[in-house]
């Protein structure tokens, strides 16, 4: 019997139909009510060449494994970070335990390092992806609201301030207003204009515009009673509690959950005491390839939200991409991250460094100097609409 021909490498546009059939099959989508094009139209339309942005294993010319790798850059305090997301990690059920996933993930990570990508994000099981340099870090807060919270906070006879309207693909003016508001923030995902609507409705969310009388006041992305993204125009920020109240009533489910990144501390402060329940957890699984750039960007974001005490920490990081020895400091409230040859205060592995700087909680921080402890965790975050 002839030996099978097994090839691991990049996909291409000619594979589109087979590729889509394959990943839909592995993930149990029926191609009618559910498939990848419906779930993530921003990535899986034919014109976006999803197969060409993926790594595939072919066995005798047939796709047996796939790993998607899609760019979704991030701007943090004016600095653009190159981000590439990993998704649709799939192996044919009859071809598992042959190491195909390992080979494709290695290819994806090696290419990101070679091409100067700053960090990567994915969703998936923690230990499974730790083998490939990822861990669950970043921070977000989830707050849940119920009828009692709204009634006891606002009473029964309030008059709504905001109205909400579902955004449609043809609503060019509203989409332009959403884009302008998003890009006025300290952190935002780089979203191409031609894909903007498709990005907003990723993961089967719907996009809603908020209006105060006839004036655009903000927007949110909502699925059922879950809000994954919410921004309010500056003139209406003092009415953030009323925004939540009116969105709760508009949604009509008797419950609402809102996830927010910690750099939106003004939003959180205004609605925190209304919530019935809250939890703090990791934002996603990440791998950092350029610690100097990523730590620097998110330390500046942290400093833009709270006053940081002066301090200094020198670390040597055995990163997955390279070794980095960094002097991280705050002087007169201004943060900086610089290369250094000085003796390090800490020696950190790749995973240890990600956890120390970016995880929502790490007990090891208790051993850091007091000023440095107040800097952490750095508010690493990517909106779900931008992820793969």
Tell me the pLDDT tens digit for each residue of 201-249. 999 999 999 999 999 999 999 999 999 999 999 999 999 999 999 999 9
Q: Identify the burial level of 38 via C-beta atoms within 10 angstroms of its C-beta, where 0-12 means exposed, 13-18 middle and 19 or more buried.
A: middle
Dihedral of CA atoms 84, 192, 222, 220 in degrees, nearest 10, equals 120
Please tell me the predicted confidence (pLDDT) of residue 1.
65
248-300: per-residue pLDDT in tens? Answer: 999 999 999 999 999 999 999 999 999 999 999 999 999 999 999 999 999 99
Domain residue limits at 210: 141-281
Residues 245 and 360 in one domain: no
Answer with the one of 79, 101, 117 that is the final residue of a domain: 117
SS3 385: helix
Residues 92 and 177 in one domain: no
pLDDT (average), residues 135-162: 96
User: Residue 336 sits in a domain of what CATH number?
Assistant: 3.30.1050
DSSP assignment letter at 78: T
Examine residue 162 and state whether it is found in any structural domain, yes or no. Answer: yes
325-379: per-residue pLDDT in tens? Answer: 999 999 999 999 999 999 999 999 999 999 999 999 999 999 999 999 999 999 9
Please tell me the pTM assigned to this model.
Answer: 0.96
Answer with the one of 216, 246, 281 that is the final residue of a domain: 281
Question: Is a pLDDT exceeding 90 seen at residue 31?
Answer: no
210-219: per-residue pLDDT in tens? Answer: 999 999 999 9
Examine residue 129 and state whether it is found in any structural domain, yes or no. Answer: no
Residues 155 and 275 in one domain: yes
Examine residue 130 and state whether it is found in any structural domain, yes or no. Answer: no
39-63: per-residue pLDDT in tens? Answer: 999 999 999 999 999 999 999 999 9
* d(C-alpha 19, C-alpha 28), whole Å: 14
Examine residue 318 and state whether it is found in any structural domain, yes or no. Answer: yes
pLDDT (average), residues 101-113: 98
Better-scored residue on pLDDT, 314 or 34: 314
* d(C-alpha 359, C-alpha 133), whole Å: 15
**Residue % of the chain over a pLDDT of 70:** 100
160-170: per-residue pLDDT in tens? Answer: 999 999 999 99
Residues 54 and 177 in one domain: no
Residues 113 and 185 in one domain: no
Residues 271 and 290 in one domain: no
SS3 99: coil
Rounded to the nearest integer, the mean pLDDT of the chain is 96
Examine residue 192 and state whether it is found in any structural domain, yes or no. Answer: yes
Residues 148 and 274 in one domain: yes
pLDDT (average), residues 74-81: 98
Closest CA relative to residue 300, chosen from 329, 321, 260: 329
Instruction: Give 29-75 as a DSSP string.
Output: --SSS--HHHH-HHHHSGGG-TGGGEEEEEETTEEEEEEEEEE--EE
pLDDT (average), residues 298-319: 97
Residues 246 and 297 in one domain: no
Handedness of CA 129, 116, 104, 26 (dihedral sign): positive
Residues 177 and 84 in one domain: no
Pairing of β 311-318 and β 323-331:
antiparallel
User: Residue 50 sits in a domain of what CATH number?
Assistant: 3.40.630.30
> Which tokens hold the place of 375?
């800097």
Examine residue 383 and state whether it is found in any structural domain, yes or no. Answer: no
Answer with the one of 233, 258, 281 that is the final residue of a domain: 281
When divided into structural domains, the chain yields a total of 3
Please tell me the predicted confidence (pLDDT) of residue 34.
84
Dihedral of CA atoms 114, 118, 124, 126 in degrees, nearest 10, equals 100
Examine residue 197 and state whether it is found in any structural domain, yes or no. Answer: yes
Residues 149 and 257 in one domain: yes
Please tell me the predicted confidence (pLDDT) of residue 4.
87
Examine residue 387 and state whether it is found in any structural domain, yes or no. Answer: no
Residues 206 and 105 in one domain: no
Cα 89-202-193 angle, rounded to 5 deg: 115
Residues 267 and 300 in one domain: no
């Amino acid at each position: 019997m002839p030996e099978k021909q097994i090839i691991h490498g990049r996909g291409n546009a000619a594979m589109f139909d087979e590729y889509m059939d394959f990943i839909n099959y592995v993930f149990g989508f029926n191609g009618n009510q559910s498939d990848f094009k419906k779930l993530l139209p921003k990535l899986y339309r034919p014109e976006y060449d999803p197969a060409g942005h993926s790594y595939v294993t072919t066995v005798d010319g047939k796709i047996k494994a796939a790993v998607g790798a899609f760019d979704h850059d991030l701007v943090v305090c004016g600095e653009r970070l190159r981000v590439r997301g990993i998704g649709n990690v799939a192996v044919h059920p009859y071809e598992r335990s042959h190491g195909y996933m390992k080979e494709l993930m290695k290819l994806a990570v090696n290419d990101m390092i070679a091409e100067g990508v700053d960090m990567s994000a994915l969703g998936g099981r923690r230990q499974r992806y730790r083998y490939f340099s990822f861990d669950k870090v970043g921070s977000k807060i989830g707050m849940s609201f119920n009828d009692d919270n709204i009634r006891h906070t606002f009473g029964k006879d309030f008059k709504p301030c905001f109205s909400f309207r579902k955004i449609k693909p043809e609503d060019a003016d509203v989409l332009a207003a959403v884009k302008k508001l998003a890009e006025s923030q300290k952190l935002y995902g780089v979203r191409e204009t031609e894909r903007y609507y498709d990005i907003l409705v990723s993961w089967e969310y719907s996009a809603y515009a908020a209006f105060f009388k006839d004036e655009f006041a903000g927007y949110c992305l909502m699925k059922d009673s879950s809000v994954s993204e919410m921004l309010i125009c500056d003139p209406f920020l003092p009415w953030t509690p009323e925004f939540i109240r009116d969105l709760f009533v508009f949604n009509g489910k008797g419950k609402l959950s809102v996830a927010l990144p910690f750099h939106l501390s003004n939003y959180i402060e205004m609605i925190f005491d209304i919530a019935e329940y809250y939890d703090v957890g990791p934002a996603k699984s990440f791998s950092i390839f350029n610690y100097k750039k990523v730590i620097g960007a998110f330390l500046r974001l942290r400093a833009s939200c709270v006053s940081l005490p002066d301090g200094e920490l020198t670390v040597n990081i055995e990163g997955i991409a390279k070794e980095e020895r960094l002097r991280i400091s705050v002087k007169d409230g201004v943060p900086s991250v610089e290369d250094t040859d000085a003796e390090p205060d800490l020696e950190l592995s790749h995973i240890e460094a990600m956890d120390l700087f970016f995880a929502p909680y790490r007990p090891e921080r208790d051993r850091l100097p007091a000023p440095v402890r107040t800097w952490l965790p750095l508010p690493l975050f990517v909106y779900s609409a931008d992820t793969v």
